[in-house]
Structure 1
Amino acid sequence: MTINSIEVSENKVNLKPLEGKVAIVTGGSRGIGAAIAKELARNGARVAFNYQSRIDSAEALVKEIEDEGGTSFAVKADVADIKGVQNFLDEVVSRYGQVDILVNNAGITRDRSFRNLSQEDWNEVINVNLNSVFNTTSAVINQMLENKSGRIINISSIIGQSGGFGQSNYAAAKAGMVGFTKSLALETAKNGITVNAICPGFIETEMVAAMPDNVKEQMISNIPMKRLGQSQEIAEAVLFLAQANYITGQSINVNGGLYM
């Protein structure tokens, strides 16, 4: 009897917080998305993510997750295309049976001052950064409502709060994500679904690494914590919201104090 009790206790200790959960991360093959996918997998979730073109990055991430004992797969899908999204979601449900956590992370930039911004620049950013959120959420929401459970986490940006020079398209899309988050949270709270946004500041990614040193130095000098954020710090915020039960409709700032 004592031995059985000890075994049960040990099993409880070994359970990971997201054990049995299924998570989708859009734009998950590299950068912030890859960090999120790895963090969710480390904590027990089965993780599916899409990629646009970098199959090498996607395959490397799946291997890394599986080498750490996690479960993952990647699908080539354009999140701006609602049919492509539905095919992606159908594949996830076919493999894993459900979707418990949706992380809308996919995003692009097409920075131009407004007078030089083409309609193509505008539409492309809005389609990938904002319309994709409608596409993916539409595909999972009915299942979450039926299950009376779900976590939707939208990766917005400090630029959606403060604006950014030459980023009217990006700022509009990211601000739209915050408004979407608040509205959907109101509609779904009674069904046990939480909807939150994370607004990263300047994070050390490939895009930032490619900037001239003087530009990066100026950027860092404006951050109260005097450093760039790390993708892992965004991933940890996602993990927190994936487990939180009484937080919804919020925008969590992870920006080193740059915007308060």
Structure 2
Amino acid sequence: MIILTGASGGIGRAILSSLMTLDEVIAIYNKNPPEISGMTGVTAYQVDLTSESAVDDFVVGMKDKLSRITLIHAAALARQDRLAVQFKTEDWDQVMEVNLRGNFLLTRALLMPMIKEKWGRIIHFSSAAGMHVAPGTLAYSTSKTALLGMSRVLSNEYARFGITSNVLINGYFNAGMYQDLSEKAQKKLIDSIPSRQLGDPVNIVNAIEFLMKSDYVNGSEISIDGGL
């Protein structure tokens, strides 16, 4: 079973139809339900990932269905670019709530079912934008680089239970936050990619399939950015 967060977001939406060819998919969303009509084996659930009780209620409600869990953390939030001295505290808190707290809460809640089954795959989505630490991206970059530490600790703690934790560092695709950039910013990003083109989201799905099948790839970071 694949549990995908951020299923109605840009990248989540872009990979959802391909993920259903790999396994049954639980598509988690916050406000706007994903378009799943015509998709076989996909069920959408609304869950506030920043709420401990909402996350726990979701997992308890799913306990009889959970099996061979691949947890994909695609949910992410960014706020308007500002230099650190101008960055609003509430914006910082919101980014951390979604990008880190939500990841932690759902991972923690699903660890026991994974441990009992002695199988699990945890896949965190980081970002090339976060790794390159551009000015004005303090909260987003902090949250995305923090996922590397989180994943490495999880990989160390739960490998003995057949659970792996890895990070996909995604570059620029014709989906997601890239589409919110100005035309000038989009051109600058494309010019920075060696192939001078955006990635096809199927590359992300290919990496997910690889990690699902690979029990000895653990605590790793895989860049999917065209050589950026």
- Which of the five TM-score ranges fits, normalised by the shorter chain? over 0.9
Q: Any conservation in 1 of the 2:171–2:199 contact (CA below 8 Å)?
A: yes
Provide the rounded CA distance (Å) in 1 between the counterparts of 2:63 and 2:13.
21
Aligned residue number for residue 157 of structure 2: 187
Provide the rounded CA distance (Å) in 2 between the counterparts of 1:112 and 1:235.
32
Q: 2:110 aligns with which of 123, 140, 154?
A: 140
Q: Give 5+ residue unaligned stretches, structure 1.
A: 1-21
Aligned residue number for residue 240 of structure 1: 210
Q: 1:49 aligns with which of 12, 19, 27?
A: 27
Cα distance change on mapping 1:50 and 1:87 into 2, 3 Å = same
Q: Any conservation in 1 of the 2:68–2:117 contact (CA below 8 Å)?
A: no
Give the Å deviation of 1:178: 0.8
Aligned residue number for residue 5 of structure 1: none
* Residue 91 of structure 2 is aligned to residue 121 of structure 1: yes
Aligned length: 227
Cα distance change on mapping 1:92 and 1:33 into 2, 3 Å = farther
Map 1:56-135 → 2, pairs under 5 A = 58=34, 60-61=35-36, 63-66=37-40, 71-94=41-64, 96-98=65-67, 100-110=69-79, 111-135=81-105
Give the Å deviation of 1:169: 0.3
Q: Any conservation in 1 of the 2:68–2:119 contact (CA below 8 Å)?
A: no
Provide the rounded CA distance (Å) in 2 between the counterparts of 1:211 and 1:97.
38
Moved more, 149-158 or 109-118: 109-118
RMSD: 1.6
Cα distance change on mapping 1:201 and 1:104 into 2, 3 Å = same
What amino acid is aligned across from residue 229 of structure 1 in structure 2? G
Provide the rounded CA distance (Å) in 2 between the counterparts of 1:35 and 1:246.
28
What amino acid is aligned across from residue 98 of structure 1 in structure 2? S
Structure 1 stretches of at least 4 aligned residues deviating more than 4 Å after TM superposition: none
Q: Give 5+ residue unaligned stretches, structure 2.
A: none
Q: Deviations over 1:222-247 (max 9, x none)?
A: 11121112322222211211111210
Q: Any conservation in 1 of the 2:128–2:169 contact (CA below 8 Å)?
A: yes
Provide the rounded CA distance (Å) in 1 between the counterparts of 2:134 and 2:61.
37
Q: Any conservation in 1 of the 2:66–2:113 contact (CA below 8 Å)?
A: no
Provide the rounded CA distance (Å) in 1 between the counterparts of 2:157 and 2:66.
25
Give the Å deviation of 1:206: 4.7
Give the Å deviation of 1:87: 2.0
Give the Å deviation of 1:148: 1.2
Partner SS, residue 197 of structure 2: coil
Q: Any conservation in 1 of the 2:130–2:137 contact (CA below 8 Å)?
A: no
Cα distance change on mapping 1:121 and 1:30 into 2, 3 Å = closer
Q: Any conservation in 2 of the 1:36–1:238 contact (CA below 8 Å)?
A: no
Aligned residue number for residue 176 of structure 1: 146
Partner SS, residue 25 of structure 2: strand
Provide the rounded CA distance (Å) in 1 between the counterparts of 2:70 and 2:31.
24
Provide the rounded CA distance (Å) in 2 between the counterparts of 1:211 and 1:162.
16
Q: Any conservation in 1 of the 2:70–2:122 contact (CA below 8 Å)?
A: yes
Partner SS, residue 32 of structure 1: helix
Provide the rounded CA distance (Å) in 1 between the counterparts of 2:176 and 2:208.
20
* Bigger Rg, which one: 1
Aligned residue number for residue 225 of structure 1: 195
Cα distance change on mapping 1:239 and 1:251 into 2, 3 Å = same
